[in-house]
Every structure is written in structure tokens, then in C-alpha cells.
């Protein structure tokens, strides 16, 4: 079977990488299923893409924001029409089950409609001047060319979080999708093109992080970088971008805790924990990787949670009966296996799973059994470090205050959840949990596009996707109009 060849999108033209080299995009559930060959780009390709974006910026920034927004609105409608096809293709390249990839595409649709509304809400402020016959106001301005580096776990949703607000703000973009899942980003950008986006406004450079990604971060004509990925790589991105004074938005790792109090609705808490821990095969920055159990419910919760984890059906995400898909590649399997060994060496109790699935229907993919550890102490590495796989730790506590202390005892601070019927505990948790997101009686996963998304500590650097993205992709300009027909000196003439 002939492999489909994909190219970089540069200035509206599809071009192979200058090196001529490619990266195969394989179905993680069946490595004999080759989705396509994508460019293995380097700095030369990034240079061409940035130059195309610079040229396009000259005219794109002058398009009225409501008109830019209309393109996003049309793109959202195109995504709606092609939702099922794009979801099927995403499951093939990323692995997660169809219900989730449909949700991924839906999130891009939601983002398109939400950000399209911002085309008429790029508000500045007007304010009285301290001087007579002088008008003062502030306006938002586009940055210029922005670089976007996106991950493989939400290969359409997260690119939409970055592309759409950047575009409605008047910027032009160079996006580097994850090498494991580039097709979904190509599908997203094609929807924009079909909606009327001018050539060069969005450019795609496919390739590896150390080559294409690093060149984008370091490029002198890229004005800002928005990155989603690991905390380790995010730190490198921030340091390299600092050399050219680029602002950087970082959305990185998590070690998210679900707290279950004695008075919780146990069935609801179990359902939330199962979905939070094993949805997307645990490959979410918001995945529930720690479940904190008050001692009164710990025994019953543990027994039922383990039983339900064992019953989860693992397999190809295209099978409607499958609940847990593959891990995205062999490196992720190796990471999960390594943390199982670490947990066992520290004295944690393996309650179920803990191994790769390699026989029969799993032989051609990268599958891992849903894994639960009990007897975990908060100081263990398995309770401190992000695994990014279907591996969850159960930790017992006595008091609510102790639960908050355990939840906050990690370097990350993305998402938290509390299950309780006590309104006092709920409001204390909203105040005291160190995280960018707190859910009450809901799992740690399930963010909505119109709220701020991001975290604290090693999870992020203060910027937010969703509500707040426009702030990152614009810069403020103060404007003064003096109609006094004489020299007026602020802070001097008005002091008399």
C-alpha cells in the first residue's frame, strides 16, 4: 500500500522539508496502519515559514477583527460538518476512543464559536486625562508572528486553543504539531483555509522538538511562543525564548488529586475517579493520578475501584465497545513500566495491572493495563511525579486539612477535585487547593473552553488558555490625543 505523503504548509503552498526526510505517523493500536509520512523539518523550513508569516502579517493585521472572526465562525461550521471523519482519523493516529476524539473535535468547534465572538470584544479602555482638552485611551494590538508548539494528546483541541485567539487578535502563526499526531492539526488548518483564511496567515512546520521546535523558539522574528507539553521541555523553551525577549505561555504537567470525603456520594466519586484516571488512557495533563481517600471510605472505595479498573476493556479505540485505548507510543509504555518498578521498590502495593499488554489483539500496538497502587505514601515518587499513563495511586488521610496538605505537596498545580456534601469543606477547598482548576463533585478532567485553563507551580507560568488567551496574544498601546493646541506637560502642569 502506498504511503500518503504530507508536506509543510508555507505561504499557502505545500512543500516538503528541505532535507527530504519524513516521519511516519503510525496507529498506536496497530502499527501496520500507516496514517502518512510527514516532514522532518529543520531550521531552514522554519525560516521559510516565519518569513511567509511576516509577509502575511502586513495585511492580516489590517483586516477588521470582526472580519477575522467571521473566518473562525465558518471554520467552526466546517468542523461540525466533518466531525466524524476527523474523529476517526484522530483515533487512528492518537489512539483514544471515538467518544473522546469526537469530544476533541467538538472542543475545537466550541473554541471557534467562542473566539469568533471575541472579534467584537477586543476591548480597550477609555479614561479621563489629568490635563484639560486631552483624550486618553488604550487599545489592543497584535504581536506579529507567533509560534505555537502543541502536544499529541489533544491534537485538534489544543491547537485550536492557540490558533483561534492568536488569529482573531491579528497575529500570523507558525504551528509545530506533535510528531505523533500531526494529521489532526492539518485537518484543523485545512478547515481554516476552506473558510477563507488568506495564504501565509497560518503555516505548518512538522517535525521533532529538538529541531523544528527549537528553531521556532529561537527565531528572532517570532514575537511569542505558546507551548503545551512537559515541564522539563517547557523550562527549556522558556530559557531559550528569554534570549530574544519573547513572552512565553507554558501549559505543562500535572499530578492531580481527587479527594473523597467520608460523606461523599461514593458511586459518583467512583465514576469520577475511573473516568479521571483512565480516560485518554491517563494521558492528560489533568488526569487523576492520585486519589485521596478518607479512612472511613477507603476500604470500600478501594475494593470497588480496583474491581471496576479490572473490568475496563482495553483495545483499539475504533471499536465502540473499547473503554481504554493504547498509549501513544513505545516510549510512553516504557515510562509506565519504569514507574511501576519505582512504586514497587518504594513499597507501594500493586492492586491491579502494572504491565504492558502484548499478546493476541494487543501484539501490534502499545497497550498498558489499567494500573492501581494502594498503600501509597505522599512522599513516594509515584505520588509526586507525573507518569502520563493509566497509573493511579490511592492515598489515605484522616482529616480534611490533611487531605489539602497532601494534595498541595507536589510540584504541580493544575487540577484538583473534591467529593463531599459538606459546603464548608467545598468552599475551603476552592480557597486552599493550590491549582488552576478545582472541581467539586466532579472529576479532575473536563475543562470548558470559555474558562481559564492553566496551573500554578511547575504546571504553568501564569498565562491561561481559554479566558485569558487574548491577553497573551495581544499587547497594550496607550493613545493620547491632545486638542488643547498648546504644550501640556503631564505631572507638571497639572500639579499647579
pLDDT of residue 2: 87
CATH 3.40.309.10 matches 256-440: yes
Q: Is 251 a catalytic residue?
A: yes
The terminus-to-terminus CA distance of the chain in angstroms comes to 84
> Is 3.40.1830.10 the CATH classification of the domain at 8-252+460-478?
no
Selected catalytic residue, list 107, 111, 218, 285: 285
Q: Give the active site residue among 93, 251, 396, 465.
A: 251
DSSP codes, 340-372: HHHHHHHT-EEEE--SEE-SGGGTTS-EE--EE
Q: Do 108 and 86 touch, CB atoms closer than 8 A?
A: no
Q: What is the dihedral of CA 337, 341, 346, 348, to 10 degrees?
A: 60
pTM (two decimals): 0.97
Residue 285 annotated to the active site:
yes
Strand partners, 357: 367
Q: Is the pLDDT of residue 440 over 90?
A: yes
Topology agreement, domain 8-252+460-478 and domain 256-440: no
pLDDT digits (tens, 9 = 90+) for 8-64: 999 999 999 999 999 999 999 999 999 999 999 999 999 999 999 999 999 999 999
Contacts of 174 (CB under 8 A, 6+ apart): 46, 49, 50, 53, 145, 146, 147, 148, 203, 204, 205, 216, 222
Mean pLDDT along residues 292-296: 98
Q: What percent of the chain has pLDDT above 70?
A: 100
Q: In the sheet that 371-374 helps form, which strands lie side by side, from edge to edge? A: 349-352, 371-374, 391-397, 288-294, 256-260, 415-419, 437-440
Using one digit for the tens of pLDDT, what is the confidence trace for 340-383?
999 999 999 999 999 999 999 999 999 999 999 999 999 999 99
Contact between residue 255 and residue 381 where contact means Cβ atoms under 8 Å apart: no
Give residue limits of the domains in the chain: 8-252+460-478, 256-440
**pLDDT for res 439:** 98
From start to end of 229-343, where are the E strands?
Answer: 248-251, 256-260, 288-294
Amino acid at each position: 500500500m502506498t504511503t500518503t505523503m504530507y508536506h509543510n504548509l508555507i505561504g499557502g503552498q505545500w512543500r516538503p522539508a528541505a532535507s527530504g526526510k519524513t516521519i511516519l505517523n503510525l496507529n498506536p493500536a496497530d502499527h501496520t496502519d500507516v496514517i502518512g509520512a510527514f516532514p522532518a523539518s529543520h531550521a531552514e523550513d522554519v525560516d521559510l515559514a516565519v518569513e511567509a508569516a511576516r509577509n502575511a502579517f502586513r495585511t492580516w493585521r489590517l483586516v477588521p477583527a470582526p472580519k477575522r472572526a467571521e473566518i473562525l465562525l465558518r471554520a467552526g461550521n466546517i468542523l461540525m460538518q466533518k466531525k466524524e471523519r476527523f474523529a476517526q482519523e484522530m483515533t487512528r493516529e492518537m489512539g483514544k476512543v471515538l467518544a473522546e476524539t469526537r469530544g476533541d473535535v467538538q472542543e475545537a468547534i466550541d473554541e471557534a464559536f467562542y473566539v469568533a465572538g471575541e472579534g467584537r470584544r477586543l476591548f480597550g479602555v477609555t479614561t479621563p486625562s489629568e490635563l484639560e482638552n486631552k483624550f486618553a485611551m488604550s487599545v489592543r494590538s497584535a504581536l506579529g508572528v507567533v509560534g505555537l508548539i502543541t502536544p499529541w494528546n489533544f491534537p485538534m483541541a489544543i491547537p485550536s486553543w492557540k490558533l483561534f485567539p492568536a488569529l482573531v487578535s491579528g497575529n500570523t502563526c507558525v504551528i509545530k504539531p506533535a510528531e505523533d499526531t500531526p494529521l489532526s492539526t492539518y485537518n484543523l488548518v485545512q478547515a481554516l483555509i476552506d473558510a477563507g483564511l488568506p495564504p501565509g496567515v497560518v503555516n505548518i512546520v512538522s517535525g521533532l522538538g529538538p529541531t523544528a521546535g527549537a528553531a521556532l523558539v529561537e527565531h528572532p522574528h517570532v514575537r511569542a511562543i505558546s507551548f503545551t507539553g512537559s515541564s522539563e521541555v517547557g523550562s527549556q523553551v522558556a530559557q531559550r525564548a528569554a534570549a530574544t525577549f519573547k513572552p512565553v505561555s507554558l501549559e505543562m504537567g500535572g499530578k492531580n488529586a481527587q479527594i473523597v470525603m467520608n460523606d461523599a456520594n461514593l458511586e459518583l466519586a467512583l465514576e469520577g475517579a475511573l473516568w479521571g484516571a483512565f480516560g485518554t488512557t491517563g494521558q492528560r495533563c489533568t488526569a487523576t493520578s492520585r486519589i485521596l481517600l478518607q479512612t472511613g471510605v477507603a476500604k470500600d472505595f478501594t475494593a470497588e475501584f480496583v474491581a471496576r479498573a479490572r473490568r475496563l476493556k482495553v483495545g483499539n479505540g475504533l471499536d465502540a465497545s473499547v473503554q481504554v485505548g493504547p498509549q501513544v507510543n513505545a516510549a510512553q509504555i516504557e515510562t509506565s513500566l519504569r514507574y511501576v518498578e519505582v512504586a514497587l521498590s518504594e513499597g507501594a502495593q500493586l492492586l491491579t495491572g502494572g504491565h504492558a499488554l502484548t499478546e493476541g489483539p494487543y501484539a501490534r500496538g502499545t497497550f498498558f493495563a489499567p494500573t492501581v497502587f494502594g498503600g501509597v505514601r505522599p512522599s513516594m515518587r509515584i505520588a509526586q511525579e507525573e507518569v502520563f499513563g493509566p497509573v493511579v495511586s490511592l492515598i489515605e488521610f484522616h482529616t480534611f486539612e490533611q487531605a489539602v496538605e497532601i494534595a498541595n505537596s507536589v510540584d504541580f498545580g493544575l487540577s484538583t477535585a473534591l467529593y463531599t456534601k459538606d459546603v464548608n469543606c467545598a468552599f475551603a477547598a476552592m480557597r486552599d487547593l493550590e491549582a488552576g482548576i478545582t472541581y467539586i463533585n466532579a472529576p479532575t478532567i473536563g475543562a470548558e473552553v470559555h474558562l481559564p485553563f492553566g496551573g500554578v507551580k511547575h504546571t504553568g507560568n501564569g498565562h491561561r488558555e481559554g479566558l485569558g488567551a487574548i491577553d497573551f496574544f495581544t499587547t497594550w498601546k496607550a493613545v493620547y490625543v491632545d486638542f488643547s493646541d498648546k504644550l501640556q506637560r503631564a505631572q507638571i502642569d497639572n500639579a499647579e
